[in-house]
Structure 1
């Protein structure tokens, strides 16, 4: 193969057709040559996409560059066959520049996100919602929700693009078919994509982008998520090895807060991240975290074994159990939403300063949600035992609110709840260390029972005397 900056080698077929044996990639920002026929691009792309998906299912290829090389060979072969067919019909062979333009356009369609790509590349975009090919809404960081032009010519074309994306993305190939109508995967830039079809009248796609990866608690003060009192408290809690569950509704900023808390770990600590799809990306920051073990679940194939599990499936529960044998100080579970709650609580009860996120309306509601997940985990358990397990595992619940006001989104911590073991009613006893002030943002209410541990970790206990916190006044525009 030739390099990307070299002219492609040409092969003279017996028919007289000139066929490129190497298809150069587009340079950044370089437009596709206008001589490519859009109809031909769609036809070739459809054929190559099907063949590529079949090859990747039968023989998984991990390296992205190797996948591209395979695609290039399939594109060249398909164009060669179509060119020979033209000659057999007595038509003129395609000019070389048309061949190259078509090949480039097909490669761009195969390995980009098509019309969605400009939105993925926009640093101001937070979320993309596609409700059918022609109903596209984009949420921006400044709070705007904007209607966007269609991202495909039909729902069928949108589904086809998702199927190819499912086949080529990630270390474990995923399928998107009527037999497996839900798709969850991580895009190359770290964004998370979720899609459903066949169970709905039209396909639905949501892409959630992670705009900020390398962030710490001081950055969250600047963003208005924390004040200096709360940041100091959480920093000391992490260093003191407290187990923390971050709660909130969707898009509230739970993952961002987990990243910031993890950046308070000692750089030489060995810990694991366990996620459905990689979202934390702490393993992508070796300068901050040189000893992180990043684990990602695997959905498995459409076939099921005798126990009813998908062949090759690796669940979050499996990964948490595996992580317990890897000599780790801490474990971070990106999101607890199922049976993995039990091994996660076990890890917290035996470890030192683990973290996870959980969907919940309030910090208090998170307690009952965890117990509900325990009871539905498929093992024999009473609610009394579930409450006892929680009380012996979790130290703090930190709740984040998402407020939209006058078209602006505001994310801030509103509650910090300490778990003080079991109470008289066999439910965990709790202390509201921080609670909502007059404007909803967290202010100090009570001293935690482990205050002396925080002081040893560097916390100034007199900060808790500032009953209004150190939040800027709302009239300053800080919210």
Structure 2
């Protein structure tokens, strides 16, 4: 059996238990979920306790030092520890020496999550930093307990590198995305497509499609991971179960996750990463997404409080354009955002938006109340109603996929200058798409009502094209192809003006000025920019 005294001398130098220079520890984020487990203040006490525990390791059932205040650590039974110890040994004996055993990580994450949930019951209001610090203490305690018992039973001791790798993996699984974390951390990956635990494809920003590594050991484990993320990743807990088989949530780094299970042959998930957040219109001009003339026109339109809808295919850059246009506003303007899941992230840029209120809808539980609504549900309609008392200058509604169009109309009625996005293959098709979405709300919404709302409250539709030549060795390009202006026409139908239309290469070129061009001139727009985009 290993000598506990010698083992203590080596274990106390592990990075997991080491105290950084100056004696001040930290829990540093290297990325979402990638945690540096340097010893916090008071970690030396834990190290001394570990030495004492190892020195008396002959007492197999001896309990360790007291758990942190508010945390009731539970030592596993001998049978449970045997399984953990056997898994731990695979860190050294497995085919990939030094690779993380995700079965062991999952077992530890379950224990740590249970203990963390128990500890948080007496610590209401603890912020994210405090939660991570408490979680780190729990992980350290679990690993210290495991190390002691491994020494006591004469089992292999994992190396310092493996120890810190295991600790970081547990923290990533507890507070990050586990095996998904390295994929989300890659800045070149734009989309992650998962069709079962071992069928993963990575879509890069240049259009490349690469087969990715398995993200779980089984489909059941993948569903378990998604369910765990649904309970603690978003500020609003999202149910994911056979009775709620669809999941939509925002990950901590701002990425959007959509998943289904039980209604598909295998669990399916797609993670859409937002690569361009703190961006302005000039940046999009440099990326050749739009011309200087189109950029000046749209910027002036937003400043002149024209309501605008951006349409295009999935991944075309609709949200990026709305974000860029909003970033051109006065930082002191009071604005609000209403979204099903946070995607704009304007509230994460306080230097650009100093007076902002950001709302996120909540789906509620699977149970229904007497009014037929899901218990705890907060709809976009509810949020629009709340926003009317928040002294907002303008209200921005996120993506319109269905009946969200009615809250968008209400937002446009309550104040000019609203922005939103929708899916369509052309600017005119976007109008028809919005009519269809409005009629999905029920029989009380007629076609004529929907057209009238569009004609009266939407001023501009911008169409973005996504051209993908990556399959032929080229690149994926995004560009604005159309900008149309809308006015009320005959019988309440929208009258359309092609302010910018597709040129010979598909990019938008100036066409016919809108009748409200003087409104743009009042905020500094040069009308001669619409003369084939040239400056006099």
Q: Same fold (TM over 0.5)?
A: yes
Q: Does 1:215 align with 2:279?
A: yes
CA contact (8 A) 1:19 1:96 kept: no
Q: What is aligned with 1:442?
A: 508
Kindly report which structure 2 residues correspond to 1:44-193, keeping only aligned pairs within 5 A, or say none: 44-49=108-113, 63-69=127-133, 71-72=135-136, 75=139, 91-92=153-154, 104-193=168-257
Structure 1, gaps ≥5 residues long: 24-31, 471-479
Aligned CA distance change for structure 1 residues 108 and 237 (closer, same or farther; 3 Å): closer
Please state if 1:366 is matched with 2:398.
Answer: no
Secondary structure of 1:108's aligned partner: helix
Checking the alignment, whether the CA contact within 8 Å between 2:380 and 2:407 is kept in structure 1 is no
1:154 & 1:348 partners in 2: Cα distance?
Answer: 47
Q: How does 1:365-384 map to 2 (within 5 A)?
A: 365-378=429-442, 380-384=444-448
- Indicate the residue corresponding to 1:229 in structure 2: 293
The Cα shift of 1:66 comes to 3.8
Correspondent of 1:459 among 495, 514, 525: 525
Structure 1 CA distance for aligned equivalents of residues 392 and 439 of structure 2: 28
Query: Match of 1:41?
Result: 105
Structure 1 residue 286: Cα displacement = 1.2
What do residues 368-423 of structure 1 show as CA deviations (whole Å, max 9, x unaligned)?
22222222213613221221122110111111111112431111111111111132
Offset at residue 115 of structure 1 (A): 2.7
TM-score, normalised to structure 1, is 0.85
Q: Which moved more, 1:188-197 or 1:113-122?
A: 113-122
Sort the Cα spacing of 1:394 and 1:456 in 2 relative to 1 into closer, same or farther, 3 A. Answer: same
Counterpart contact for 1:245–1:397, Cα < 8 Å: yes
Distance, in Å, in 2 between the alignment partners of 1:278 and 1:113 is: 18
Query: SS at 2:316's partner residue?
Result: coil
Judged with a 3 Å threshold, the aligned counterparts in structure 2 of structure 1 residues 17 and 38 are, in CA distance, closer, same or farther, namely farther
Contact 1:17 1:93 in 2 (8 A): no
* 1:415 equivalent in alignment to 2:487: no
Q: Which segments of 5 or more consecutive residues in structure 2 lack a partner in the other structure?
A: 1-16, 18-23, 27-37, 54-58, 72-90, 93-97
Alpha-carbon displacement from aligned partner over 1:23-56 (angstroms, at most 9, x marks no partner): 9xxxxxxxx9959866543433344456767988
Contact kept, 8 Å, 2:173 with 2:179, in 1: the verdict is no
Cα pair 2:412 2:457 within 8 Å, conserved: yes
Deviations 1:159-212 (A, max 9, x none): 222122111112122222222111111111111111111111111111111111
Looking at structure 2, the residues matched to 328 and 422 of structure 1 have their Cα atoms a distance apart, in angstroms, of 30
**Is 1:391 the equivalent of 2:455?**
yes
Q: How many residues align?
A: 457
Could you say what secondary structure the match of 2:174 adopts? helix
Distance 2:199 2:100 in 1: 28
Segment drifting more, 404-413 vs 217-226: 404-413
Q: Which deviates more from structure 2 when the two are superposed, residues 4-13 or residues 350-359?
A: 4-13
1:444-472 Cα distance to aligned partner (Å, 9 max, x none)? 11111101111111111111111xx47xx
**Inter-CA distance 35–429: structure 2 relative to 1 (3 Å threshold):** closer
TM-score, normalised to structure 2, is: 0.77
Match for residue 11 of structure 2? none
Which residue of structure 2 aligns with residue 27 of structure 1?
Answer: none
Task: Check the 8 A contact 2:172/2:181 in 1, yes or no.
Answer: no
**Cα distance in 1 between the residues matched to 2:352 and 2:150:** 58
**Could you tell me how far apart the structure 2 residues matched to 1:41 and 1:371 are?**
49
Q: 2:329 aligns with which of 242, 248, 265?
A: 265
Say if 2:249 and 2:258, in contact at 8 Å, map to a contact too.
Answer: yes
2:56 — aligned with what?
Answer: none
Q: Which moved more, 1:37-46 or 1:126-135?
A: 37-46
- Rate the CA distance shift 1:86–1:267 in 2: closer, same or farther, 3 A: closer
SS in 1 for 2:399: coil
Counterpart of 2:420 in 1: which secondary structure?
A: strand
Check if 1:276 corresponds to 2:340. Answer: yes
3-state SS in 2 of match to 1:279: coil
Which has the higher mean CA deviation after the structures are superposed, 34-43 or 374-383? 34-43
* Partner SS state of residue 223, structure 2: helix
- Tell me which structure has the larger Cα radius of gyration: 2
Deviations 1:82-102 (A, max 9, x none): 789989xx9458969899656
Q: In the alignment, is residue 295 of structure 1 matched against residue 359 of structure 2?
A: yes
Work out the CA distance in 1 between the residues paired with 2:443 and 2:135: 46
Structure 1 170/305 Cα, relative in aligned 2: closer, same or farther at 3 Å?
A: same
Shift of 1:113: 2.0
In 2: Cα distance, 1:151 partner to 1:126 partner:
17
Instruction: Note the alpha carbon deviations across 1:238-270, whole angstroms, 9 max, x for none.
Output: 111101011111111000000111012122210
Q: Tell me how far 1:272 sits from its aligned partner.
A: 0.4
